[in-house]
Chains A and B, each alone.
Chain A
Amino acid sequence: MSYEAVIGLEIHSELKTKTKIFCGCATTFGAEQNTHVCPVCLGLPGVLPVVNKKVVEFALKAGLALNCTINKFSKFDRKNYYYPDLPKNFQTSQFDLPIAEHGYVDIEVNDTTKRIRITRIHMEEDAGKLVHAGDTIKDSASSNVDYNRTGVPLIEIVSEPDMRTAEEARAYMEKVKSILEYIDVSNCKMEEGNLRADVNVSLRPTGSEMLGTKAEMKNLNSFKMVENALEYEIERQEEILEDGGHVIQETRTWDDNKGITLSMRTKEKAQDYRYMPEPDLVPIITTDEQIAAVKKTLPELPDARRDRLIDDCGLSSYDAGVITNSREMAEYFDAVIKQNVDAKLAANWIMGDLAKNLNAAGKTIAESPVSAKNLAKMIKLIQNNTISSKIAKKVFDEMWQSDNDPELIVKEKGLVQITDTDAIEKIVDEVLLGNPKPVADYKGGNTKSIGFLVGQVMKASRGKANPAMVNKLLKEKLSQ
């Protein structure tokens, strides 16, 4: 029997506020353990939490950017459970009246656009961090808790179970990350846990409308992890069902080193969060005027930007997608083409040599040693035939080292392309004289040997001869 996976994601994203959601403690990452804590976030008796205005503003922004309806009446609730990373023994979250509901994002997988519905977005506080004495939580006799992260504001974005493959889940998470970056509400540094996903997956016979029993994997903080964990879990459940067994509803942990999911038996027998309205926080009322005002602050979002690059710049859907996936890259691209250079050439250089060098150096495009201005200048030199694409690679490497003006580099290193017919002809003649065999081959019908001759001319000119002219001249002379 063939099965179909049904996948839903809950994405937790830390908001980039300066302070926590209910108190004035700093949210800075990497502080010494238990130095960003106060009576409010430690949940000491008698304290009064007050909502950070910025959190609501960011949540509204995210809600609108993810095509949600804003709940004009929203409130906080207590989600009760016991875990040592939660000093209050409840998490302040939102239950029945989240800030935003009924949204969607569109993803592109295999050249098809698919709409993934978003059930809801709610605001909540993050929990603390556990440090285990042993290698894993399972073989630790005790654990240590750092409450610095407790109370850091989060939005939780809950999707409908609309994804069918690990690839779609990854594309969805990438899209959400991209949108959150564009609207600048989260740092989205996955290695710092700014963006993590709880993933649930079940299988059902292909074509069936019923839902199978699902397993959940929590706290996956990279796209690769989401994809790998899902692929593994889909295969695991398929094997169980094939053998006539039943999948158990449970939380499983993803062991990234071993590449497997494992059952996680916690002391909590049955999850029952016993939500209750938070008596210490009052409702949040949002007006139409406020919603309209937030809407105005939204920048051009990835989809709109991609369409613009396709329609106005003639980029392929794929290239436009890659470039607009990251706001930084999209802005760099815009800065380059503002200098009136060929958009496709710009896209090739940015996605090619620049991206390759950035990856190798572990840098983001915002930290690129090559400025958009200088890259644009270099592309212009290619366009006006001052340098060939091959020489441009040399110029680019120089720019990567120094970010010098490419015109200067070309001049200093004597890299100007030879477009003078006489000069090229001279080299061509020398090469023809010096290579009688390939010449004879060509004349005898083996036209492929021209490649060798072109190579020799380019070599003799130290790459500076205009390749198109070399080709043309060689052909003319060989057919004489």
Chain B
Amino acid sequence: MSIINLTIDNKKVSIEKGQTILDAAKKVNVRIPTLCHHEDLCVAGNCRVCVVEVEGSKTLSASCAVPAEDGMVVKTNTPKVRNARKDIVALLVSEHNTQCTTCYRSMNCELQALSAEYNIDNNRYLSVLKPNIEIDRSSWSIEKDDSKCVRCQRCVRTCAELQHVNALTVSGKGKDMKISTFMDLPLNEAICTNCGQCVIHCPTGALTERRYFDRVWEAIGNEKKHVVINTAPSVRVAIGEMLGYPVGSRVTGKMVTSLKRLGVDSVLDTDFSADLTIVEEGYELLQRLRKALVENDTSIKLPMITSCSPGWVKFIEHIFPEHLGHLSTCKSPQQMFGALSKTYYAEKKGIDPKDIVSISIMPCAAKKFEANRPEMNDSGYRDIDAGLTTRELGHMINQAGLNFAELEDSEFDSIMGESTGAGAIFGATGGVMEAALRTAYELVTGRDVPFDNLNILPVRGMEGIKEAAIKLENCLPDWSFLEGVELKVAVAHGLINARKIMDQVAAGKSPYHFIEVMACPGGCIGGGGQPIPTNDEIRKKRAEAIYEEDMNMPVRKSHKNPEIIKIYKEFLKEPLGEVSHRLLHTSYKKRNHY
């Protein structure tokens, strides 16, 4: 890589060849406004907000798209640049349904910010907003409002590049150009996995999650209802971002307090059901291995693949329906929690399950769809009544007028509120694998996993696909058939990586026994329901916070969670037992491939 030198606003910059003018400007702290640009995505260069003047060029250059050249002289704030930029933002506003007062993304909207920054006069141009744009509310998870779309195509690139789903495309040209689906199908009929990555990459209110917080307020306000809430591990390391904390802050105690202040009857922990998932899934893996290795049962599908990410589950249902047998039959922690909240919890608390409203706070948009899957009623009721995102909780806390920073810390309620470090790391890519290995290895050998401090570093980090292998030696008598087996595992996050893993599985060439897949880049900490913006640095900081959470836990193995031990003793009896099968496991279905 050769180094080139250029000047930006009279400052000298040296930068590697191949970087853009925008990259170079960042290096010398010159901020150029952008809109279609997103660090997670490839260059588009279509909004033209980032134009700058390059000496010797008659036209302006889109700084996000034009490579920096040696000797370039760039000016980012000349009258020509300012006029063009202001005009461009005014044009965007002129085709926009400017309703900031009622918009979910108000105060967190890139168009709004640009418009304010350039003090756009709404009367400069006529409105060219298309009349009668209907909001697509067909999906349980995602709401699409084309009247708020700036056509930056970030969603399209997200769905293609990060997720390789291609549910979103551009249709029409010129004045009719818009973001669409195949055949303009409503989102619930499209191939969309509901992962919500498009939502967190959208600069405006054009793509949002379906909101259910009014339903929650209603339940809380209803004296007859007993509201239980479970909060996912990655929410507590991200919600602070909406409430004035820097990225990567752990605000678990304050979050619990705030929920209690909202009036929730019982604030419980999804980490508990994550631990439960680990135990069930761990046993399921060992059972599959036994059947395959000892009984030579050829119907057993290996590798087994995790099923706790509903975006991923819908992806495989759409795209690899003939390989559903590889999915673990375990429900996601949310759904396990839901089913138990209206059975075990109801029983223990002596509450009629029909009066229980079970809510989950998730980093996720896909969990909304999952909660609404028709089969998710094994408790005899809707297992989960509403799935909210981290963002919705942030809004609720603000709506309640709570001064979050001033809240004291408090503990989760019981029962189903106790958790372990293993449950906590579920929130980061590799976390399920790490938690599963901590448990499975110990079950099989009676010893701790052979990693310092139980930290299985090879499965951590932001590499798209990670691999690890652990040799099983000196196994306990029950598991002697595993003696000497090298357990091979892989971890994939972001559906584009899931597809790579599945291509291998489909070709019969997967070398692994067990694979963790998370639909979102970084796992749940980068989930489609998390605070906006997102990028690699933010995901890394949230992940670090999750691992800190783990290190601070007295118990760091799922099967050692006292409440888990108790629930098996008093209710479930045994992993993969009859009750588990009824409440905690599920099945999958083939879906359309377009």
A interacts with B: no
Which of B's residues lie within 8 Å of A, judged by CB? none
